Amino acid sequence: MSDFQDALSAAFALVAGQDPALAEIVGLSLRVSLMALALAALVGLPLGALLAVARFPGRHLIIVGMNALMGLPPVVAGLVIYLLLSRAGPFGHFGLLFTPSAMVIAQAVLIAPILAALTREVLEGMWEEYREQLHSFGVSSWRAVPTLLRDGRLALVTVLLAGFGRASAEVGAVMVVGGNIEGFTRVMTTAIALETSKGDLPLALGLGMVLMAIVLAVNGAAHLLRERVARMSG
Amino acid sequence: MNAPLRALRSGRRALPAALAALLSPPVAAQRRAIILASTTSTEQTGLFGHILPIFTRQAGIVVRVVALGTGQALDVGRRGDADVVLVHDRAAEERFVAEGFGGPRRPVMYNDFVLVGPADDPAGIGGNADIAFALAQIAAARARFVSRGDRSGTHAAELRLWLAAGVDPARGRGTWYREVGQGMGPALNTAAAQNAYLIADRGSWIAFRNRQGMRVLVEGDRRLLNQYGVMLVSPQRHPHVRAADGQRFVDWITSAEGQGAIAGFRIGGEQLFFPNATEPGA
Amino acid sequence: MRAGSGLLPLQVEGLGFVAGGVPILQDVSFRLEAGPPSVLIGPNGAGKSTLLRLLHGLLPPSGGVIRWALLPAEVARRRQAMVFQRPVMLRRSALANVEYPLRLAGLPGPERRARAQAVLGEFGLGDLAHRPARRLSGGEQQRIALARAAAMDPAMLFLDEPSANLDPAATRAVEEIVTAIAARGTKVLMTTHDLGQARRLAGDILFLHRGRVVEHAPAARFFAAPAAPEAAAFLKGELLW
């Protein structure tokens, strides 16, 4: 039990002490995960919507592939991206390895299939309901995508939160491609891994609590936003 | 936090804003910096946190440390993903230099390895001065032993010591010999949880918090010496290597000033690393 | 005012539809003229909803011809609207629902807002304009759906059981709107299982039984003296299959 008490007081000390290094780590975590989320959403949401409405050859292959990618172990994703971004790899000349950009790419690759698969599931039901009416309006399946994304926005906030949760909780991939460089690519999860391996379990757990608090805050903010939008549009 | 959520709410309008946010470079990206591939023992003890700010203040060069096992760190150097490598496995370092990936190798500092084990010492090796003999006793008692198993400098040193003890630990796999394939910290955590013996570098041991009653049982044997070396990654092999800045770091850490900074790093009054850049043959 | 606008008369010949090897509609032929609403009646499963969907172009016929007076089918479709048994409300305000098809039609923002507001006002729905459409009652949703269709100013409007599951007051409100739409010159073809409603609204009746149009007659004549024995039985309330 004293481990948890130590962790609590470590967490409290971290936050109360307004440690600039902690603020930097938290800031980078949010920045990286939100950028990854935006990047993945740009691809995943339209792709998911398209898969919900369109029927074309190869659709099932894409869905199966997507679902398989959802189970991709982060370390494997990290390793693949490491090899791609390494100086000796095909995209080496961009010099992105061991930078926050590489972490954004890794997280985006990890969560894009999740966003696409969840978006497809959410919008397929809505499309079932809307299909005839939109066809009656003369809207083709493809052109229905923006309408579905707009009208599904409440459910999609939940989808985005799932993506954000996975991105911000992820450690394997960002560790490999970011290198956990202090003050540059160290984020909450890699910091927790580091403190764990240093045997400073209370500090690691304290950092974990801070991470939880942040994820909770983001979810709470998203919840309030949903409420507001829901009141306006039902 | 709101860029994507806003994009969702207001549709197309916020998209350019989100894109712009994505494309804006990371805050610190424009600073003059080198990447140093090094080991968990140097990073996690806090050595770099102590000496690198001194270098950065003087040279205006940020050193970004990627902490890995020695084998991995050298591989990162081979791929050209680091500018400088600072590790502790002399044989592997000399191979790296011979293959033309970097160098020349310069000795930097040393400390030593210690054999750590549970307080009740089931193999009865405490106070032994001969590390080879102690290891042979552990093997004979089939007492649990945790190995890094990750091609790190510590792992290489441990394997050399088993060789000296005349024991092939691989035969204990699945029973008493446990390879965790991870860094020093996780290996220490594992040993603490399993009441096992292990070889650790002294720096990591001193900095380690979660000891659970483990203590140092064998130390001081000259075969336990842990020597660190530093090398610039070859700019001939990898033209993008920041050779001038990297060389500056190599020169600094082997200079009187850098060596003094290393000697000045202490935890609880205890010196963790001993500079020896000028020692011939180190 | 627009008297069919190139759509009417509608000539249907030998129309058939097969789903999964089962014939739903067979050899359906009739002619629709401009004028008061035409009402499709018949027992459940007769194929009424399917026929509406074929005419509106939501389903491809297995055979036969649908011929609009002057316009090819693709162009004719743009002059039509359809309201479904369960109104499909987009997840936005009532006003935005009405505006949605107008935007698709390329109407500029201020103009479509004005038109949507005018139509809602005309049908006594002005108070609901800014309410989330999906929070409205079933009757209100159906009226919004009708207003949305009316705002498109279609030459032809298909209604599939527009007042099924509605209480008498809501049914009356819906019928008033249908009457108003028909009075604007839009040709209405609707299905209903409410014979009273058919009597109140219909100019002519199409009686559909087992996938065939068994009788097509002016409403007054049909209800007074149905020619087909199945129609007579149906009007008497006998079970048909």
ipTM summary value:
0.91
Partner-chain contact B185 A197, CB within 8 Å: yes
Instruction: Kindly list the residues from chain C whose CB atom is less than 8 angstroms away from the CB atom of residue A156.
Output: none
Cβ count near A117 (within 10 Å): 20
Provide the residue count of chain B: 282
Confidence bin at A2 (pLDDT 50/70/90): low
* Whether residues B103 and B116 fall in one domain: no
H or E element in which residue C13 lies? strand C10-19
- Is B184 an 8 Å CB contact of chain A? yes
Each residue of A127-163: pLDDT tens digit? Answer: 999 999 999 999 988 889 999 999 998 889 889 998 9
Partner-chain contact B81 A98, CB within 8 Å: yes
Partner-chain contact B185 A181, CB within 8 Å: no
CA distance C17 to chain A (A): 18
Partner-chain contact B8 A97, CB within 8 Å: no
Residue B2 lies in a domain: no
Of the partner residues C56, C88, C133, the one whose CB lies closest to the CB of residue A234: C133
C172, C124 contact by CB (below 8 A): no
Partner-chain contact A30 B3, CB within 8 Å: no
* Whether residues B124 and B208 fall in one domain: yes
Partner-chain contact A229 B185, CB within 8 Å: no
Confidence bin at C45 (pLDDT 50/70/90): confident
- Split into its structural domains, chain B has a count of 2
Of the partner residues C78, C80, C88, the one whose CB lies closest to the CB of residue A130: C88
> CA C10 to CA C79: how far, in whole Å?
13
* Whether residues B123 and B189 fall in one domain: yes
Residue B15 lies in a domain: no
Of the partner residues A39, A153, A184, the one whose CB lies closest to the CB of residue B64: A184
CA distance B61 to chain A (A): 14
3-class secondary structure per residue, B214-268: CEEEECCCHHHEEEEEEEEECCCCCCCCCHHHHHHHHHHHCCHHHHHHHHCCEEC
> CA B96 to CA B105: how far, in whole Å?
9
* Tokens standing for residue B32: 């003059």
B262, B109 contact by CB (below 8 A): yes
Q: Give me the sheet containing C38-41, strands edge to edge.
A: C80-83, C156-160, C187-191, C38-41, C204-209, C212-218
Q: Which residues of chain C are at the A interface, by a Cβ-Cβ cutoff of 8 Å? A: 53, 56, 58, 77-78, 80-82, 84, 88, 90-93, 96, 100-101, 104, 131-135
> CA A156 to CA A118: how far, in whole Å?
8
Instruction: Kindly list the residues from chain A whose CB atom is less than 8 angstroms away from the CB atom of residue C142.
Output: none
* Whether residues B188 and B126 fall in one domain: yes
Partner-chain contact B35 A86, CB within 8 Å: no
Which residues pair with residue C208 across a beta bridge? C213
Instruction: Kindly list the residues from chain C whose CB atom is less than 8 angstroms away from the CB atom of residue A234.
Output: 91-93, 131-135
Partner-chain contact B65 A38, CB within 8 Å: no
> CA A49 to CA A153: how far, in whole Å?
12
Q: Which CATH class is domain C10-88+155-235?
A: alpha beta
Radius of gyration of chain A (CA): 20
DSSP label at C94? Answer: H
Give all domains of chain A, ordered by start, each with its CATH number: 2-233 (1.10.3720.10)
* Whether residues B96 and B119 fall in one domain: no
* Whether residues B145 and B181 fall in one domain: yes
C203, C217 contact by CB (below 8 A): no
- Is B97 an 8 Å CB contact of chain A? no
pLDDT tens track of chain B, all 282 residues? 344 444 444 444 444 454 445 445 444 445 799 999 999 888 888 899 999 999 999 999 999 999 988 899 999 999 999 999 999 999 999 999 999 999 899 999 999 999 999 999 998 998 888 999 999 999 999 999 999 988 888 999 999 999 999 999 988 888 999 999 888 888 999 999 999 999 999 988 988 888 888 999 999 999 999 999 999 999 999 999 999 999 999 999 999 999 999 999 998 888 889 999 988 777
User: Is the pair B, C in contact (3+ CB pairs within 8 Å)?
Assistant: no
CATH number at residue B195: 3.40.190.10
Provide the residue count of chain C: 241
Q: Which residues contact C232 (CB under 8 A, 6 or more apart)?
A: C226
Candidates A84, A87, A157, A196: best to mutate against B (most CBs of B within 10 A) is A87
Candidates C49, C50, C74, C90: best to mutate against A (most CBs of A within 10 A) is C90
> CA A130 to CA B80: how far, in whole Å?
54
* Whether residues B250 and B217 fall in one domain: no
Residue B18 lies in a domain: no
C-alpha atoms less than 13 angstroms from C-alpha of C237 in its C-beta half-sphere? 2
* Whether residues B187 and B122 fall in one domain: yes
Of the partner residues A130, A135, A154, the one whose CB lies closest to the CB of residue C58: A135
Among B47-61, C3-17, C60-74, the range scoring the smallest mean pLDDT is: C3-17
pLDDT at B137: 93
Each residue of A16-40: pLDDT tens digit? Answer: 776 777 888 888 999 999 999 999 9
- Cβ-based burial of A43 (10 A; exposed 0-12, middle 13-18, buried ≥19): middle
* Tokens standing for residue B272: 């963790």
Phi, psi of B254 (to 5 degrees): -95, 0
Q: Where are the domains of chain C?
A: 10-88+155-235
Each residue of B156-212: pLDDT tens digit? Answer: 999 999 999 999 998 888 899 999 988 888 899 999 999 999 999 998 898 888 888
Q: Cis peptide before C9, with omega less than 30 degrees from 0?
A: yes
Residue B259 lies in a domain: yes
**Residue B199 domain boundaries:** 112-224
Q: Which residues contact C236 (CB under 8 A, 6 or more apart)?
A: none
Instruction: Kindly list the residues from chain B whose CB atom is less than 8 angstroms away from the CB atom of residue A41.
Output: 4, 7
* Whether residues B204 and B122 fall in one domain: yes
pLDDT at B6: 44
> CA B193 to CA A132: how far, in whole Å?
63
Partner-chain contact A233 C92, CB within 8 Å: yes
> CA C187 to CA C184: how far, in whole Å?
9
Sign of CA dihedral B53, B55, B57, B61: negative
- Is A93 an 8 Å CB contact of chain B? yes
CA distance readout (Å), B277 to B28, B50, B262: 32, 18, 11
Cβ count near C206 (within 10 Å): 23
> CA C210 to CA C16: how far, in whole Å?
12
Which residue has 């806090």 as its token pair?
A: B46
- Domain C-terminal end among B207, B224, B241: B224
A119, A159 contact by CB (below 8 A): yes
Residue B217 lies in a domain: yes
What residue in A sits closest to C89 (Cα-Cα)? A130
